[in-house]
Amino acid sequence: MASKELENLLGNLERYRGKHVVAVEDEIAIVEGENELRETIERFEEKYPRKTPLITFVPEEGVLIL
């Protein structure tokens, strides 16, 4: 069974293609750069202290990651 974060991400896949994202529960944030990533993780850790954020890159359609 997929996590809630992954299910939400897959449900909106086209919106996030080619982007780095951080997801917790129903929230998904697009991040650009190390500072924004750090700030987003800190914000999500404060809001969801018992959850581990999903941090991933969503590849463009047709890209294979081996």
Provide the 8-state DSSP code for 36: H
* CA dist list (Å): 15 to 11, 22, 46, 60: 9, 14, 26, 11
Tell me the percentage of the chain whose pLDDT exceeds 70: 91
Could you read off the pLDDT of 19-48 as tens digits, one per residue?
A: 999 999 999 999 999 999 999 999 999 999
Asked whether the beta carbons of 65 and 59 are under 8 A apart, the reply is: yes
Q: How far apart are CA 51 and CA 64, in angstroms?
A: 29
